Structure 1
Amino acid sequence: MDQEQAQVLFNEGAVLVFLDVPVGTEFGIDYNSWNVGPNFKGVKMIPPGIHFVYYSACNSEKDSAPRTGFFYNFKHKEMVVRKWDKLTEDISSDVVTEEELNRFKENKKELDRYLGAYPYESYKKWVSLTDHLTPRLVGQLQPANEKISAVTEFISESSTTQTRRNAMDIQNGIKSSDSEDTRLPKMETKPETVIQYTQIPKHKYPSGASPSEITKYSMDSSYVLETILSERFTVNDTEILGELQFAFVCFIVGQNYDSFEQWKRLVHLLCTCEEAISNHTDLYTQFISILHFQLQEIPEDFFVDIVSQNNFLTGTLQQFFSNLESSIADDKLKRRGVKFQAYLTKIFKWDFASEADEYAPVIVEAQ
């Protein structure tokens, strides 16, 4: 970054002040993370827009706790102040007063040397992975506590005389006619930690559908997609791509496994449509671009799991290219699909032309 650009970002960019963070704690923003040192007080020169901030506490043996993060829409010249709670090893829930905030703003220049600069060289990549995220969509998807956690938080049902008796029976090895599952305490995810992802309808065809429609929509997910777009994404059909990006960031950066499952569900839904492709040209044009960038960012070891697990990715993309080819979509979109298919074959050695087993593509042997 040249001096002029740095000066613009210093004057126009946002600042995140993060106080009292223990030395060694992992701290990150977007695609960059560090272990903080004794002088760390936050990050400066943050480009305005939506970013993902995350952290993991570390013990004396340098073992990291599960990652926790949150999305925040930074404004021009905004200063955001957060404090670390040593007791909970998390961001403090205490609200920073207006007086405190003004004091930090007045001392911005003195604070500057304790702030790390946002790594602007990776900003373009971040934009390519989040360009469909909007503040409204983030607010709609994020949990009530506004935190994305790598570990699911559970609560158990209230203890009763019967549950305590069952627990004692298990401890003492006493057999019961009840199954073991019914004697164990029931665990539920804390409601305030649940990401509000779109539920994919299980009913694949309209009520009163004819036998031919039932057959058609059992293979073509277009009815399910149209239902979701009309009920959930009423502003713009490409909003569903924002959720796809939200899920991707949460599982790649936030290490949240539920988000990985939602990402797979959305990719499968979009790829198994045929009728909808011709009705949503812009949606599918941008979908191809998003997949292009996402597949480049999946870590190699994780990537192998995604590809090999029930042949998910290659099999799903095979369906997509087949649906695109047989659809009545415009030629420009079809050409884009052909180029994407050729790119995947070249970079990942996937051969979508061969159908060795059912409809699953085979892997091309590297020469």
Structure 2
Amino acid sequence: MPPPPSLQPSPTILLPDLPPKTFVGIDLITFTSTPNFHGIRDLPEGWHFLYTGTTESFSLRSGAWFYVGDISRAGSGSNFNDHGAGTALVTTTSRQNEPQIYIWRWNRNTEALDSLSNTDPERQEAMRYKANLGSVWQRGGLFRYRSRVSASMLSNQGQSGESPTTQAEKEDDDDKEDETEESGRRDWQGLTDRITPDLLSRIVGSPQMDVDGHPRWTVTSASSANRDADHIPGLDAPSEGAGAEGTERGAVAEELQEREFGFLPIDLKRTWREGAVGRERTEAAQDRSWALGELVERHNAGSGSGDQQQAGETQLLGELQFTFLMVMTMMNYSCLQQWKRLLELILTSRRAIHEREGLMSAVLRLLLLQLQRCDDVEGGLFEIDGDEGGAFLRNLLMKLRRGVDEVVAGSSGAAGSMVKAELGKLEAWVKAEYDWELQREAIVRRGMIQLEDGEEVEMEMDGNDEDEETGEYAPLVVDLDGGDGELQDDGKRRDMEMEE
């Protein structure tokens, strides 16, 4: 039923002219549009990501981030938990009696959604869409926002269907749906509560402003950081003097450059300070705490926010959230690589277990929530990362478990106890869900196995060389001062003295 005329319409996004059978996703829900689909109503406060594709797979996806409510509160933590599930928060916009209506029109040339700009013709067009909002709602063209339901349930909103046979069954279904919705909104808040407008502008670029002054940050599945892009000579930049064809290539190259991600600079091959030599470099390569601290402090110093001590850590957590969600929704390859780089840097920083205990605990809480939701979108996280699957993450968690045990055992106080508690929750979940064992001592790494014909062979787990310091990881002692010999490839000294 449409709302009474005296009441303000709920936050709504209108999608006029969207072709039927278009693949649509909002947050972690995906569905295929119907001819009667014209938008989504009852948007809760907070960040949302709406994206489309011409088909469910094998097509370029494009989408945009936008914020419902007072955007100055974005990134301030879990507002959802602070105010309770389903609470309608008072925003600056609502206090000004201005309904939050977002209008994204389908562009047939780019096969993507564009917001209306602040020009006279498009302002009049926006007024027309808003004036017809009530009739669109009455026809069932606006689907109610859901955070965690099946695609079939969302696509059937506004259409008639069979109801439960009894009132008791209907009430039971409603209670389950409310509980699922409450849990879904709380999870989405936890997946986005460190994302800020500044972070999106740093990674994606300046936002587009619509006719009502609402910003939105656009992303495509082809967006990439420069380090992850495949550069093809002759195609990356326009040729000089190439005429119209060169101009067209130049426009494409400029558009791609505008979409280039501005990720945090992470170099896992150099994690020590400038000028470090010897033991310091070796320790910094094994324990990346210096590189993590340098990255955090760099963004602390460059922050214009009031709480500069937390600015760098917020940037790390926000980028972890952004990259993960772009993998899940857009299947973006560059975001997957950056998500893995961030986790490898953080989870291999041993001193940070007690020096930055709050950050490490927050990362583990976020990682657990991400893993719990990684199968919500088709494909799943580990299926998208086809080369390694979950092996990279399991190995990182095993190293972290060993580091946490050593830090806690070697400290007289409570250093690392928060990290150990959060890691325990994560460890229990991956054990139940993926059957991962993070305790190195519980895994048989070398032993004898009997074949079908009765022959016994010795087997050794791949990757054991690094932990056992054997093979290519075996230490080699070189005497630089004594003797007149040199080392052969096998490490033995060859006598170079000439026989008389």
Tell me which interval the TM-score lies in, with the shorter structure as reference length. Answer: 0.7 to 0.9
User: How many pairs align?
Assistant: 328
Q: Give, in whole Å, the separation in 1 of the partners of 2:141 and 2:294.
A: 51
Are 2:203 and 1:117 aligned? Answer: no
Are 2:194 and 1:132 aligned? Answer: yes
Alignment correspondent of 1:199: 265
Are 2:294 and 1:227 aligned? Answer: yes
Q: Give, in whole Å, the separation in 2 of the partners of 1:63 and 1:274.
A: 41
Are 2:126 and 1:101 aligned? Answer: yes
Cα pair 1:152 1:189 within 8 Å, conserved: no
Q: Give, in whole Å, the separation in 2 of the partners of 1:220 and 1:26.
A: 44
Alignment correspondent of 1:243: 319
SS of equivalent residue, structure 1 residue 203: coil
RMSD: 3.2
* Greater helix share, structure number: 1
Mark the structure with the bigger radius of gyration.
2
Cα pair 1:13 1:48 within 8 Å, conserved: no
What is the deviation of 1:279?
1.6
Alignment correspondent of 1:78: 100
Counterparts in 2 of 1:238 and 1:360: CA distance versus 1, 3 Å? farther
Cα pair 2:11 2:43 within 8 Å, conserved: yes
Q: Give, in whole Å, the separation in 2 of the partners of 1:190 and 1:283.
A: 34
Counterparts in 2 of 1:273 and 1:63: CA distance versus 1, 3 Å? closer
Q: Give, in whole Å, the separation in 1 of the partners of 2:220 and 2:364.
A: 29
What is the deviation of 1:247?
0.1
What is the deviation of 1:57?
1.8
Letter in 1 for 2:185: Y
Letter in 1 for 2:198: R
Q: Give, in whole Å, the separation in 1 of the partners of 2:30 and 2:258.
A: 26
Q: Give, in whole Å, the separation in 2 of the partners of 1:351 and 1:308.
A: 21
Counterparts in 2 of 1:249 and 1:12: CA distance versus 1, 3 Å? farther
Unmatched runs of 5 consecutive residues or more in structure 2:
70-90, 92-98, 148-180, 208-216, 225-230, 243-252, 446-460, 468-500
Mean CA deviation greater in 141-150 or 263-272: 141-150
Question: TM-score if structure 1 supplies the norm length?
Answer: 0.79
The aligned runs of 1:144-293 (5 Å cut-off) are 146-152=217-223, 156-159=236-239, 190-201=256-267, 202-209=269-276, 211-232=278-299, 234=303, 235=308, 236=310, 237-293=313-369
SS of equivalent residue, structure 2 residue 102: strand
Counterparts in 2 of 1:238 and 1:159: CA distance versus 1, 3 Å? closer
Mean CA deviation greater in 324-333 or 249-258: 324-333
Cα pair 2:352 2:360 within 8 Å, conserved: no
Are 2:339 and 1:312 aligned? Answer: no
Cα pair 1:73 1:135 within 8 Å, conserved: no
Q: Give, in whole Å, the separation in 2 of the partners of 1:93 and 1:295.
A: 33
Cα pair 1:197 1:262 within 8 Å, conserved: yes
Mean CA deviation greater in 338-347 or 297-306: 297-306
Q: Give, in whole Å, the separation in 2 of the partners of 1:188 and 1:199.
A: 22
Q: Give, in whole Å, the separation in 2 of the partners of 1:360 and 1:44.
A: 54
Cα pair 2:27 2:49 within 8 Å, conserved: yes
The aligned runs of 1:34-45 (5 Å cut-off) are 34-45=31-42
Letter in 2 for 1:336: E
Q: Give, in whole Å, the separation in 1 of the partners of 2:36 and 2:101.
A: 19
